[in-house]
């Protein structure tokens, strides 16, 4: 049961944050027990945007269910779609043309930058700086325009299909991406001048929300959240899919485990994604953008699991097939769900005002958590 | 450790388990009563060191339920899938949230979606579903809700 606001017998105060609160970035409800300014306990109450996607997918075909997954982590929709397409391809043993693989990786990395941009702007806004949000959206808008041209949508792209991508890239794609790279490189120093080097900002982040490497693993934290604690967990490196094993990029690790470390991981990751895009943009091979597949897909009886690295961490698709045209059971392992479970552990004993800095660096996307 | 060596080592320690073939990762079937003891060994034993539980879920097979645990080791980078068969009526299994803390939230999700009772769980309450939902488990195959239709 959700406790109402009030004080308990031992002098603690129960405080509700959300479900409608600007700092929770969506409909997340936290019931916080505080003693004075000190947090005793944080209890997340989820489900305000639970759509039972797993159950819904049980009555959707292997071509249809991919579109629902764009609505989970809407900032990594390409990567969610990618995981589902890969999982279906694994079951059907479809060989994806090299051109499609390169396009997919390019899209994934553009999505990752767009997601980190939004996070960066929102994070600064959480801590009281409004201007960075506009700076972040200036670059993010350029990515959205590229997406709109090629995929036809700006948020829920639904571009990945089993066997490749839905249609070939727009003739302008390479030119626009190169323009974006130039724009990003000219602006990224502003990020560091405006926010990263700002002493007020650093003081709000350093030493806040400490998470040790052992705890990060135990809580199942992944993505930049765990890499800020020095845990190597980049699926692109550890269990490479598509052409990631042929690309030269660095897995960003910071060891402090505080909010500032997680912040730095994401900021540095954007430059790595740019480097991946630079390696690929002039080397998109000619060929088909989609493998030939049957009109009706039937996965053989069995179980298929695919892990990918979204902007938030280790996203998993687990399909249990009975041999039909729809999955018997599907499970989406969402990175946000596990990352959020560590919040209580991180927040205990800190001040209430620091909770916003912790939540900001967890990069929570609520539809991804609720599914 | 190779897959064969991993299987041999598990069989030596737990002779009662059986292996399932044909999956992406080695898959082991365990009795519910043996699971917690085995989980401790898989986590603590230096040659296994399965410290990262990356997926915990349940499947409704209509006649029974199957708990599925996906394990990964951040040291050796080997994977293992553990399956535990549960009764359809009053399913219950020991919690592993004392071994992997991520199991706390995941088990609460399975509790409300499938009605599995996790024994000794520190905080077994509804997490996603609203208050008053006890007893109706949406991810079971026989769940029907004529008002809020989930099936298409």
Percent over 70 (pLDDT), chain A: 98
The DSSP result for A119-149, as a single string, is HHHHHHHHTT--HHHHHHHHHHHHHHHHHHH
Distances (CA, A) of A131 to A101, A228, A248, A354: 37, 25, 34, 21
Mean predicted confidence (pLDDT) in A94-119: 91
* Band (A320; pLDDT cuts 50, 70, 90): very high
Given an 8 Å threshold on Cβ–Cβ distance, is B128 in contact with A338?
Answer: no
DSSP label at residue A351: B
Question: Residue A343 and residue A339: Cα distance in Å, rounded?
Answer: 7
Q: Which residues pair with A26 in a beta bridge?
A: A21
Residue with tokens 């897909």: A297
Which is nearest to A47 in space by CA: A73, A65, A26, A33?
Answer: A26
Question: Residue A123 and residue A359: Cα distance in Å, rounded?
Answer: 9
The angle at the Cα of B98, spanning B96 to B102, to the nearest 5 degrees, equals: 70
Query: Is B54 touching A (CB cutoff 8 A)?
Result: yes
* Band (A6; pLDDT cuts 50, 70, 90): low
The partner residue sitting opposite B57, judged by closest CB among A217, A318, A341, is A318
Q: Would the pLDDT of B1 be above 80?
A: no
- For A334, the closest chain B residue by CA position comes to B55
Residues 6+ apart with CB under 8 A from A96: A89, A104, A163, A164, A242, A291
Given an 8 Å threshold on Cβ–Cβ distance, is A341 in contact with B100?
Answer: no
Please indicate whether residue B151 or residue B47 has the higher confidence score (pLDDT): B47
In the numeric block, which tokens belong to residue B99? 């071994």
In the numeric block, which tokens belong to residue A345? 């552990």
Q: What is the structure's pLDDT at A114? A: 92
Confirm if A115 and A75 have CB atoms less than 8 A apart. Answer: yes
Q: Which residues pair with B29 in a beta bridge?
A: B18, B83
| 3-state DSSP assignment of residue B132 | coil
Query: Is B75 touching A (CB cutoff 8 A)?
Result: no
Taking only the tens place, the pLDDT of each residue in A213-251 is 999 999 999 999 999 999 988 898 888 988 898 988 888
User: Is A70 part of a structural domain of the chain?
Assistant: yes
Which is nearest to B44 in space by CA: B119, B99, B89, B108?
Answer: B99
Which is nearest to A213 in space by CA: B50, B51, B98, B76?
Answer: B51
Residue with tokens 């350029």: A142
Residues 6+ apart with CB under 8 A from A295: none
Given an 8 Å threshold on Cβ–Cβ distance, is A340 in contact with B105?
Answer: yes
* Band (B152; pLDDT cuts 50, 70, 90): low
Taking only the tens place, the pLDDT of each residue in B52-85 is 998 999 999 989 999 999 999 988 888 899 999 9
Residues 6+ apart with CB under 8 A from A200: none
DSSP label at residue B148: S
Hey, what's the torsion of the CAs at B22, B55, B32, B87, to 10 degrees?
Answer: -90
Given an 8 Å threshold on Cβ–Cβ distance, is B150 in contact with A55?
Answer: yes
Q: What is the ipTM of this complex?
A: 0.89
Percent over 90 (pLDDT), chain A: 27
User: Contacts of residue A342 in chain B, CB cutoff 8 Å?
Assistant: 101
Q: Which helix (H) or strand (E) holds A6?
A: strand A6-7
The model's pTM = 0.88
Mean predicted confidence (pLDDT) in A347-357: 87
The partner residue sitting opposite B130, judged by closest CB among A47, A320, A340, is A47
* Band (B135; pLDDT cuts 50, 70, 90): low
Q: Which residues pair with A34 in a beta bridge?
A: A13, A39
Given an 8 Å threshold on Cβ–Cβ distance, is B152 in contact with A233?
Answer: no
Taking only the tens place, the pLDDT of each residue in A262-299 is 999 999 999 899 999 999 998 888 888 888 888 888 88
* Mean pLDDT of chain A, nearest integer: 88
In the numeric block, which tokens belong to residue A332? 């989406």
Q: What is the structure's pLDDT at A10? A: 77
A-B CB pairs within 8 A amount to 91
Q: What is the structure's pLDDT at A1? A: 46
Query: Is B62 touching A (CB cutoff 8 A)?
Result: no
Give the largest Cα separation in chain B, rounded: 52
Question: Residue A102 and residue A358: Cα distance in Å, rounded?
Answer: 35
Q: What is the structure's pLDDT at A198? A: 86
Query: Is B49 touching A (CB cutoff 8 A)?
Result: no
Taking only the tens place, the pLDDT of each residue in A109-154 is 999 999 999 999 888 888 888 888 888 888 899 999 999 988 888 8
Confirm if A252 and A265 have CB atoms less than 8 A apart. Answer: yes
Q: What is the structure's pLDDT at B59? A: 92
Mean predicted confidence (pLDDT) in A298-311: 90
Percent over 90 (pLDDT), chain B: 21
Taking only the tens place, the pLDDT of each residue in A22-71 is 777 778 888 888 888 899 889 888 888 888 888 888 888 998 888 888 88
Confirm if B82 and B18 have CB atoms less than 8 A apart. Answer: no
CATH of domain B3-89: 3.30.460.80
Full residue range of the structural domain in which residue A208 is found: 6-370
Q: Would the pLDDT of A318 be above 90?
A: yes
Mean predicted confidence (pLDDT) in A11-23: 80
The angle at the Cα of B112, spanning A17 to A47, to the nearest 5 degrees, equals: 30
CATH of the domain at A333: 1.10.645.10
- For A64, the closest chain B residue by CA position comes to B152
User: Is A227 part of a structural domain of the chain?
Assistant: yes
User: Is A1 part of a structural domain of the chain?
Assistant: no
Task: Let me know if A53 is exposed, middle or buried by CB neighbors in 10 A (0-12, 13-18, 19+).
Answer: buried
Q: Is A47 left (phi over 0), alpha (psi -120 to 50) or beta?
A: left
Residues 6+ apart with CB under 8 A from B64: B85, B86, B87, B88
User: Contacts of residue B23 in chain A, CB cutoff 8 Å?
Assistant: 302-303
User: Contacts of residue B127 in chain A, CB cutoff 8 Å?
Assistant: 44-47
Which regions of chain B does DSSP assign to beta strands (E)?
18-20, 27-30, 52-60, 64-72, 79-87, 92-94, 117-119
Question: Residue A223 and residue A112: Cα distance in Å, rounded?
Answer: 11
The angle at the Cα of B10, spanning B8 to B16, to the nearest 5 degrees, equals: 105
Question: What total of structural domains would you count in chain A?
Answer: 1
């Amino acid at each position: 049961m959700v406790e109402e606001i009030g004080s308990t017998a031992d002098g603690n105060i129960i405080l509700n944050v959300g479900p409608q609160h600007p700092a929770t970035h969506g409909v997340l409800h936290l019931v916080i027990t505080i003693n004075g300014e000190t947090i005793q306990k944080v209890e997340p109450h989820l489900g305000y945007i639970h759509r039972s996607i797993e159950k819904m997918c049980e009555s959707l075909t292997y071509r249809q269910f991919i579109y629902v997954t764009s609505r989970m982590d809407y900032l990594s929709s390409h990567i969610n779609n990618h995981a589902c397409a890969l999982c279906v391809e694994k079951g059907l043993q479809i060989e994806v043309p090299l051109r499609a693989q390169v396009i997919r990786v390019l899209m994934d990395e553009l999505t990752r930058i767009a997601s980190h941009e939004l996070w960066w702007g929102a994070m600064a806004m959480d801590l009281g700086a409004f201007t960075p949000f506009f700076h972040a959206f200036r670059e993010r808008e350029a990515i959205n325009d590229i997406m709109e041209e090629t995929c036809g949508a700006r948020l829920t792209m639904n571009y990945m299909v089993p066997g490749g991508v839905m249609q070939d890239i727009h003739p302008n794609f390479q030119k626009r991406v190169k323009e974006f790279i130039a724009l990003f490189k000219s602006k990224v120093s502003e990020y560091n001048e405006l926010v990263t080097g700002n002493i007020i900002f650093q003081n709000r982040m350093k030493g806040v929300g400490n998470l040790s490497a052992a705890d990060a693993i135990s809580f199942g934290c992944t993505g930049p959240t765990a890499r800020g604690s020095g845990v190597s967990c980049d699926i692109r490196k550890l269990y490479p899919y598509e052409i990631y094993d042929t690309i030269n990029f660095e897995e960003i690790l910071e060891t402090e485990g505080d909010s500032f470390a997680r912040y730095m991981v994401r900021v540095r990751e954007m430059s790595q994604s740019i480097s991946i895009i630079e390696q690929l943009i002039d080397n998109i091979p000619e060929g088909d953008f989609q493998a030939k597949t049957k009109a009706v897909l039937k996965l053989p009886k069995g179980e298929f699991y695919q892990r990918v690295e979204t902007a938030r961490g280790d996203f998993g698709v687990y399909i249990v097939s009975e041999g039909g045209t729809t999955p018997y059971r599907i499970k989406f392992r969402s990175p946000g769900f596990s990352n959020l479970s560590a919040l209580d552990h991180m927040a205990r004993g800190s001040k209430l005002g620091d909770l916003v800095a912790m939540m900001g660096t967890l990069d929570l996307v609520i539809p991804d958590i609720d599914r | 450790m190779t897959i064969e060596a991993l299987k041999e080592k598990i069989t030596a320690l737990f002779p009662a388990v059986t292996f399932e073939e044909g999956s992406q990762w080695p898959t082991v079937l365990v009795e519910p009563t043996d699971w917690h003891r085995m989980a401790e060994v898989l986590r603590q034993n230096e040659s296994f060191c399965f410290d990262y539980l990356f997926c915990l879920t349940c499947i409704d097979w209509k006649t029974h339920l199957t708990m599925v645990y996906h394990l990964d080791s951040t040291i050796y980078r080997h994977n293992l899938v553990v399956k535990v068969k549960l009764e359809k009526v009053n399913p219950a299994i020991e919690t592993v949230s004392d071994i992997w803390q991520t199991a706390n939230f995941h088990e609460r999700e399975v509790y409300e979606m499938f009605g599995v009772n996790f024994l000794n769980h520190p905080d077994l309450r509804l997490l996603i579903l609203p208050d008053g939902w006890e007893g109706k488990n949406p991810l079971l195959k026989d769940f029907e809700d004529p008002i809020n239709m989930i099936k298409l």
